[in-house]
Amino acid sequence: MSLHTLNIRLDFPYRTGFTHGAFRPENDALVSLMEQRPGSRVLVLLEKGLEQFYPQLSADIDRYFEKNAGVLAYAGCRSVPGGEEAKTGFSAWETALRHIVEAGIDRHSYIIAVGGGAFLDVAGFAAATAHRGIRLLRIPTTTLSQADSGVGVKNGINFMGRKNYLGTFAVAWATLDDFLFLHSQPLPLKKAGLAEVVKVAVVKDASFFNWLETNASALAVCERDALEYAVEHSALLHASHIACGGDAFELGSSRPLDFGHWAAHYMETMSGYTLGHAEAVSVGMCLDILYS
């Protein structure tokens, strides 16, 4: 045998930003994250369920990109179903892909995905598979997705009764947490996402865990400043573990960010996805602690 082993070295800039009101006309955080190249188009995929909380959002997005028309070519804003149901099967993924094809999105373009964790997994899978990978900007809208999944490097859908079975590792171009979205969530959803905040504090940052305990009553009612601080700190802990932990694509056996997740994924599947991910992770962490 003649064997030649070469190394392909790749750097992935990994951008995480925080703002209030990403689509306000005066806010240039979002456009400043994109390179302005001739021919670059921008397609926004918006989680359909957000329409009931933000009836003006798609018009605001249109206005935002009309204002920035000299900088980026806007290909429109299209809605795609979200939630765990959309992540279980191919239909929402196909809808997202159809929008991508119809908008003429190519590998010089950007897809901006705005929605919760399940929607971002579907939209991210579509962005990663169309043309074998298009630049993706995530704007997560739930506590869980801002604190954890939005800054992650994975996407996927549930398949053949298995949680997250189909998907890819794909580093997003950028993630922009817009804290304004947090406050329209119903309290149970807003609070449930803090499970991933507790998770990352337990495995990565004892002083943050102490801060969570000290501020538990403010967090229990999702007081604005406490919630935003907890979400931002959690997102940065997740991001720094992924970027600096030595195993961004999870090839090794130590996956600290998966604390509580083994049982959680089984419980979600066994419940037919009626048990939410955050709630399942809370129970999963208790089980892991009990058995450790």
Ligand X SMILES: NC(=O)c1ccc[n+]([C@@H]2O[C@H](COP(=O)([O-])OP(=O)(O)OC[C@H]3O[C@@H](n4cnc5c(N)ncnc54)[C@H](O)[C@@H]3O)[C@@H](O)[C@H]2O)c1
Asked if 121 contacts 167 with a C-beta cutoff of 8 angstroms, the reply is yes
Q: How many CB atoms are located within 10 Å of the residue 291 CB?
A: 7
In angstroms, give the least distance from the CB of 4 to ligand X: 35
**End-to-end C-alpha distance for the chain, whole angstroms:** 48
In angstroms, give the least distance from the CB of 147 to ligand X: 9
When the beta carbons of 59 and 187 are compared against ligand X, the nearer one is: 187
When the beta carbons of 134 and 194 are compared against ligand X, the nearer one is: 194
- 99 to each of 38, 43, 68, 74, 126, how far by Cα in Å? 21, 9, 22, 13, 10
When the beta carbons of 135 and 268 are compared against ligand X, the nearer one is: 268
When the beta carbons of 117 and 284 are compared against ligand X, the nearer one is: 117
When the beta carbons of 40 and 164 are compared against ligand X, the nearer one is: 164
In angstroms, give the least distance from the CB of 36 to ligand X: 29
User: Nearest-CA neighbor of 39 among 123, 118, 107?
Assistant: 107
In angstroms, give the least distance from the CB of 84 to ligand X: 5
In angstroms, give the least distance from the CB of 22 to ligand X: 12
CA trace torsion 241, 140, 279, 197 (10° rounding): 40
Rounded-to-integer distance, Cα 147 and Cα 33, Å: 20
Q: Which residue's CB atom is positioned nearest to ligand X? A: 117
User: Footprint of ligand X on this chain (CB under 6 A)?
Assistant: 47, 49-50, 53, 82-84, 87, 115-119, 121, 141-142, 144-145, 148-149, 152, 154-155, 181, 184-185, 189, 193, 277-278
Strand order in the sheet with 41-47: 15-19, 174-178, 135-140, 110-115, 41-47, 73-80
When the beta carbons of 155 and 234 are compared against ligand X, the nearer one is: 155
User: Nearest-CA neighbor of 257 among 210, 198, 212, 208?
Assistant: 198
In angstroms, give the least distance from the CB of 71 to ligand X: 27
